[in-house]
Chains A and B, each alone.
Chain A
Amino acid sequence: MENVVEFNNVTKRFKDFSVKNIDLQIQRGFVHGFIGANGAGKSTTIKMMMNLLQPDAGEVKVFGMDYKTHEKAIKERIGFVYDANVFFENLNLKDIKRIVAPAYKHWDNTLFTQYVEQFELPLNKSIKNFSKGMQMKASLAIALSHHAELIIMDEPTAGLDPIFRRELLGVLQELMLDGNRTIFFSTHITTDLNRIADYIAFINRGQLVFNDSIHDITENYALVKGRTEFLDRDTEKAFVHINRLSTGFEALTENVSSVKRTFGDSVVVEHATLEDIMFHLKGGLQHV
């Protein structure tokens, strides 16, 4: 399996926050979801992937190349979508295209026109008068029109209505028909991921908790509910995090089989959603 992006022990420190020792591999040909609470380090990680930030330690490789020596070659092959509009807001889409298109060797005007039609985008209207959804579609049309192999998106579905989110996922799935493409996107709307993501990376307080296939996640993690008296120092070891309530406990395990061995049928074992996992790994109720 070829890795499109590789983070090796990457650290970036800020005054009040840091992203520490990130080891992240992104496999070619798959959709990778990137989840974590607000301020967990998602944007910092994406910025390092785009070389908008340089790590203090460790190395970032994209397509096996280093930004220090191959910045242009790397960025030629990346399509990017950010959550906020980065395009000159006073310009219309036609002018923005005139600025962006010549930057890429493989810009495909026919493809761009096709996306503009598909997304029903006006060419002569200032981008600042676009709705959030239209701005997003415009970014997407630009990101997809130079045959990029890696599409990096920071919160692409934030602030979009469910119908457009569904539409967007359809567009992304169509891109994935080409097995050479890779999509990496951060989000906190986890239902988007359940549909199309192949791998999920989860970052919490600046540290990468896991980066696994959705199968491994659904097979390993589970939500366990039961009576509080079943918990003791020994049985607690089976859980990553436990919420004790007056009505019983709810806990997250990353080892379903050991829970089944320990508790048998005395507890309820349920499929854990990504949200359940995020919530419990973040520390659950106690820290909120």
Chain B
Amino acid sequence: MQIIISNNSKEPIYEQITNQIKSSILSGELPEGAAIPSMRKLAQDLQISVITTKRAYEELEKAGFIYSIVGKGSFVAEQDLEFIKEKKLKVIEEQLSAVIMNSREIGLSLDDLQQLLNILYEE
């Protein structure tokens, strides 16, 4: 599991951790049931305080991404991936609608928009 932390980011460190673990789980990099490092070990590896990793893990547990067993460690919880994907898809639809509305306002054609999307997607 790779986690990259920026000390200069506006995003709090615990959020950086939760977001990165979440995306590792959603991308399938961390499969269901996989063990993740203990919060103390992670704190040591990232050279940050224990309370920060503790908070990150607590948030992940609350959101149902991981679960912890005392004395055993923390594991990736069973994910209803279909459900999460559906929710994400809905968000994407909404965002795209906004994009289309904006495009119409300035008279951007569908072809041009697709081209723009292609370029951005490839990046």
Residues of A at the B interface (CB closer than 8 Å) are 29-31, 169-170, 173-174, 176-179, 195-199, 213-215, 218
Contacts and interface: CB of A to CB of B under 8 A. Distances in A.
B81 interface: no
A195 B48 contact: yes
A173 B43 CA distance: 8
A147 B74 CA distance: 27
B44 A174 contact: yes
B22 interface: no
25 contacts: A30-B51, A31-B49, A31-B50, A173-B43, A173-B47, A174-B44, A176-B40, A176-B50, A177-B38, A177-B40, A177-B41, A177-B44, A178-B40, A179-B40, A195-B49, A196-B49, A197-B49, A198-B49, A198-B51, A198-B52, A199-B51, A214-B51, A214-B52, A215-B14, A215-B52
Contacts of B52: 198, 214-215
A108 to B, nearest CB: 21
Contacts, number: 43
A196 B14 CA distance: 14
A283 to B, nearest CB: 29
Interface string B37-60: 010110110011111100100000
A29 B47 CA distance: 16
Interface in B87-101: none
Contacts of A30: 50-51
Contacts of A177: 38, 40-41, 44
A178 B41 CA distance: 10
Contacts of B50: 29-31, 176, 198
B33 interface: no
A178 B50 CA distance: 11
Contacts of A179: 40
A201 to B, nearest CB: 14
Contacts of B47: 169-170, 173, 195-196
Cβ-closest 7 pairs across A and B: A198-B51, A173-B44, A198-B49, A177-B40, A196-B49, A198-B50, A213-B51
A93 B44 CA distance: 30
A82 B12 CA distance: 34
A97 to B, nearest CB: 28
Nearest to B40: A177
A178 B38 CA distance: 11
A44 B55 CA distance: 33
B68 to A, nearest CB: 13
Contacts of A178: 40
Of B14, B44, B55, which is in contact with the most chain A CB atoms at under 10 Å from its CB?
B44
Contacts of B12: 215, 218
A106 B47 CA distance: 29
Interface in B17-46: 38, 40-41, 43-44
Nearest to B14: A215
B40 A196 contact: no
B13 to A, nearest CB: 10
B7 to A, nearest CB: 8
A195 B7 CA distance: 10
Contacts of A199: 51
A195 B41 CA distance: 15
A71 to B, nearest CB: 30
Contacts of B55: 215
A45 B12 CA distance: 32
A199 B47 CA distance: 16
A198 to B, nearest CB: 4
Given A170-B47, A196-B48, A215-B14, 19 more contacts: A30-B50, A30-B51, A173-B43, A174-B44, A176-B50, A177-B40, A177-B41, A177-B44, A195-B49, A197-B49, A198-B49, A198-B50, A198-B51, A198-B52, A213-B51, A214-B51, A214-B52, A215-B55, A218-B12
